[in-house]
Structure 1
Amino acid sequence: MSRSRHPWRCALQPLLRYHSVDELGARAAALVARRPADARLRRVGTSRGGTPMWLLSVGHGSRQALVVAGPHANEPVGGATALRLAERALADPRLTEGADATWNLLLCLDPDGLRRNERWLPGPYTLGRYFRNFFRPGFFEQPEWLPGGASGATLPETRALLDLQDELRPFLQCSLHGVDVGGGFVEITDPLPGLAQRVARAGARLGIPRELGAYDTLYWPGLGPAVYLIPPPRPGDLAAAITEAAVESTWYHPHRHGTVTAVVEAPMWAVTAVADPAPCGDPEGALRAVSRTLRHDTRLLRTLVTRVRPHLTVVPDAAPLLAPIDDYLLVCPGLADTWDPDTPGGHVLPPLSTAHLAALRIAGRRLALRTAGLLHQLVTAAGRDPAGVLPELDRLIDAWCAEYRDGHGARWIPVTRQAEYQARVVLAAFELAVRRTPACSRSGESGWGPRPAVPMHRE
């Protein structure tokens, strides 16, 4: 067994595609059957649709690490990453006995939502196929958020995660997310000095660009390139909550237990420009163009939705698709105003780099593409096109995907590299978090024992 300083360098089977909900459970069960003394699988909840929520635990240490996969339905890489982390923890005792740690891996927080994405999960992986089959529930149906606070949480998936956090009181929580188009980055509730350098190394080795100006972290402090400090929860309106996570969330709920939460984002399609720190020559002109485009797209999509809506009574499952459409149409005008330098009394934007503006362009187009894709599914589910919108939707989706591909140079990242990048970032956060937590009786075995805390720094 290798005692290399880098435990992630053990051999693993390549991943040719994402795992479905059922495959995640089956693979976890097979792993436990192979190593019953070191791994356990237990049901910690049931989704609204009746799907079991499985927790895979590896090791027997007193310090608990919690990894949450699949918090967003359209971001499936986390399940593969969780299984990869379990294999690593079983292969290298420094990750368990040596750190006095137990790895607790929630295989999917939103299994019902992931099932709705299974039409595109097996591939082939093209932007058009992804967006035409994309699903992400409306804001109030996403189990990671707590718009009414923890005491008001009603979704069974949310309650299962909250109960698990309070049971485990983890020293580290990692929430595994995926960026459909862009680069990799990390959002974190407390500084872990050295994490930015680890993220940089992981990205360089795997060809993953770091997203240096992620749009949803535009107003957040930076802790180094592509690492952002999540601000404490603050109440906000729905539009702010959807785009800024500006409400109480399961990211912060375990903070009372001393938990550090890291939100680890891994891209599906990479765009090199999101890693370009060079100043933009005409930021105000670029922002006006982004805002103008988003307003135009929103008006166009709103017109199409208005034409389609009267005909949706024949679609039995229309509500779950309409909810996110209405959310996107609600939030887009406010975002356009926020980004527009000519908006009276608007937000004061920080100095913008090429990376910031690339991320904003991608984000604006993403909102339009998601709306168009969901509307396409609604019309297709009706079995007919009484409003005559499918040709227009197909034209828009094809043109906007071509802009990602040809205008932004979006390139597909194989699933293996997505999961490997995410696993390396989680392992880096784990090592750094172990060092900042109290010593345990066996920490000396690993070489990862606690060290004096390094003051917060900015790189």
Structure 2
Amino acid sequence: MDRRPRDARLRQVGTSRAGLPLRLLSVGHGSRQVLVVAGPHANEPVGGATVLRLAERVLADPRLCDGADVTWNLLLCLDPDGSRRNEGWLSGPYTLGHHFRHFFRPGFMEQPEWLPDGAEGATLPETRTLLALQDELRPFFQCSLHGVDVGGGFVELTRDLPGLAPRLAHIATRLDIPLELGPYDTLYWPTLGPAVYRIPPPRRGDLAAAITEAAVESTWFHPHPYGTVTAVVEAPMWGVTAVQDASAPVDAEETLRGVSRTLRRDTALLEELLARIRPYLGTAGDVDRLLAPVDDYVLVCPGLADSWDPDTGPGTDADGGARPLPPLTTARLTALRISARRIALRTAGLLHQLVTASGHDPSGATADLDRLIDAWCADYHDGHGARWIPVARQAEYQARVVLAAFDLARRRGPASGRGARPLGTPPVRTEVPFE
């Protein structure tokens, strides 16, 4: 920015709940707008490195901005308050145990991308800032940068971008990033291609469905009337090869029963530990913020276990209708096993922080939590072969996927809204590198 003050401008666009600035870096002077949002989930930090990498790429290649009549708007971090709570693991060592003992992700109602009460009912200042940016810019392309703690990469779209799947596969192969062919997040969503999924329009449902499926209205869809294509780009921290195995499993039903039994058992252990810990926690603000996601996780676990168990029947949709699981591959079963373990590990890590923050442990819960965290992390290592992916490679993968999606989005044709290319104007046909 210091080297190119005319081409790169930084401005404060809002303030977090704790008073931290929300900053937007804009690169280029084109009439068509791109919006990239980093840090929407506090525990997924890779987007911060990705947006800086994108800024460097755009400044270095005129075909990506002024040559395509595009301005890139990079929101450096949507939830800086939550991100600061993850600083305990960000500097390493990059082990699963260290990560989950210092993990933080706010409760569902404090996650700024979600609009459970609609845009008009948004109360978080971070959410209101993002909504105002979307209404100001009316971007033809929007990216939300996310991270997968254990698993593989994938992309979710509000509109189809034909050709993205082969580009995604090429990028992932070049960088040795596994792609998820059946992530839990997209279990009931349409597949547009390998590791590319269509986000269904928001619908009203109960809180449990919203927490586990992002089923409520969100900032992903808020700019939809402007013709915006939103891409949610997920980059893994620890990769698991089996999430890209499309083969038929040997005994899917027995595996599902085992996953459900394990989740019920783990939930019971965590509920017992929570009951032991809660009387000693007090009511300080930090306690409330750590307890909110714990209560969310404990709330959804029984329903998840039942919806996956072949003996308790299929899951239900928001209207109460039966919703069976999609055809199960090794990749999908692996994703379900990882998800069940993830929700237990996150809960255990937050409980560990609650005990540590209280300054005393009269119930003796710390040793039990350490034992569970170590055993469950070992399952990721030994049972799934989880391997750390260096941060530079995570960010490079995510940046290349964003550029590939951008290249396809700008070729889609006209979008409605201010800043869109006028109807009848031929699209720019410069070749944009997507690697």
Residue 437 of structure 1: how far off its partner (Å): 3.0
Secondary structure class of the residue paired with 2:6: coil
Contact 1:171 1:437 in 2 (8 A): no
Provide, for residues 328-374 of structure 1, a one-character-per-residue CA deviation record: whole Å limited to 9, x for no partner.
Answer: 00011111111111114533111100000000000000000000000
Secondary structure class of the residue paired with 2:88: coil
Residue 442 of structure 1: how far off its partner (Å): 9.9
Task: Give distance in 2, aligned partners of 1:446 and 1:132.
Answer: 48
Contact 2:145 2:233 in 1 (8 A): yes
Contact 2:50 2:396 in 1 (8 A): yes
What's the counterpart of residue 412 of structure 1? 388
TM-score, structure 2 normalization: 0.94
1:280 to 249, 254, 270: 249
Secondary structure class of the residue paired with 2:90: coil
Secondary structure class of the residue paired with 1:98: helix
Contact 1:137 1:323 in 2 (8 A): yes
Residues 269 and 447 of structure 1: CA distance in aligned 2, closer, same or farther (over 3 Å): closer
Alignment of 1:266-345 (within 5 A): 266-313=235-282, 317-344=286-313
Task: Give distance in 1, aligned partners of 2:428 and 2:302.
Answer: 55
Residues 1:219 and 2:188 aligned together: yes
Contact 1:100 1:442 in 2 (8 A): no
Task: Give distance in 2, aligned partners of 1:127 and 1:444.
Answer: 45
TM-score, structure 1 normalization: 0.89
Alignment of 1:184-199 (within 5 A): 184-199=153-168
Residues 39 and 226 of structure 1: CA distance in aligned 2, closer, same or farther (over 3 Å): same
Contact 1:94 1:445 in 2 (8 A): no
1:258 to 227, 244, 255: 227
Secondary structure class of the residue paired with 1:33: coil
Residues 1:77 and 2:46 aligned together: yes
1:131 to 100, 107, 125: 100
Task: Give distance in 1, aligned partners of 2:429 and 2:331.
Answer: 42
Residues 1:117 and 2:86 aligned together: yes
Residues 1:381 and 2:360 aligned together: no
Residues 415 and 152 of structure 1: CA distance in aligned 2, closer, same or farther (over 3 Å): same
Contact 2:240 2:386 in 1 (8 A): yes
What's the counterpart of residue 181 of structure 1? 150
Contact 1:98 1:442 in 2 (8 A): no
Provide, for residues 263-293 of structure 1, a one-character-per-residue CA deviation record: whole Å limited to 9, x for no partner.
Answer: 0000000000000000111111111110110
Amino acid at match of 2:99: Y
Q: Cα RMSD (Å) of the superposition?
A: 1.3
Task: Give distance in 2, aligned partners of 1:316 and 1:236.
Answer: 29
Secondary structure class of the residue paired with 1:223: strand
Secondary structure class of the residue paired with 1:253: coil
What's the counterpart of residue 235 of structure 1? 204
1:360 to 332, 336, 345: 336
Residue 445 of structure 1: how far off its partner (Å): 7.0
Residues 1:87 and 2:63 aligned together: no
Residues 446 and 99 of structure 1: CA distance in aligned 2, closer, same or farther (over 3 Å): same
Amino acid at match of 2:403: L
Task: Give distance in 2, aligned partners of 1:316 and 1:434.
Answer: 45
Task: Give distance in 1, aligned partners of 2:428 and 2:23.
Answer: 32
Residue 135 of structure 1: how far off its partner (Å): 0.2
Contact 2:411 2:427 in 1 (8 A): no
Residue 443 of structure 1: how far off its partner (Å): 5.8
**Percent identity (aligned):** 75
What's the counterpart of residue 446 of structure 1? 430
- Unaligned residue ranges in structure 2 (runs of 5+): 316-322, 415-420
Amino acid at match of 1:349: L
Contact 2:86 2:104 in 1 (8 A): yes
Provide, for residues 65-106 of structure 1, a one-character-per-residue CA deviation record: whole Å limited to 9, x for no partner.
Answer: 000000000000001000100000000000011211000000
Contact 2:314 2:325 in 1 (8 A): no
Contact 2:179 2:243 in 1 (8 A): yes
What's the counterpart of residue 176 of structure 2? 207
Provide, for residues 179-229 of structure 1, a one-character-per-residue CA deviation record: whole Å limited to 9, x for no partner.
Answer: 000000000000000000111011000010000010111110000000000
> Which runs of structure 1 show a deviation greater than 4 angstroms over 4 or more consecutive aligned residues?
439-445
**Residues paired across the two proteins, number:** 417
2:402 to 414, 426, 432: 426
Task: Give distance in 2, aligned partners of 1:316 and 1:55.
Answer: 29
2:9 to 15, 18, 40: 40
Contact 1:98 1:443 in 2 (8 A): no
Provide, for residues 153-185 of structure 1, a one-character-per-residue CA deviation record: whole Å limited to 9, x for no partner.
Answer: 000000000000000000000000000000000
Residue 387 of structure 1: how far off its partner (Å): 1.1
Task: Give distance in 2, aligned partners of 1:382 and 1:447.
Answer: 57
Task: Give distance in 1, aligned partners of 2:403 and 2:314.
Answer: 43
Q: Which moved more, 1:333-342 or 1:76-85?
A: 333-342
Secondary structure class of the residue paired with 1:384: coil
Task: Give distance in 1, aligned partners of 2:114 and 2:428.
Answer: 38
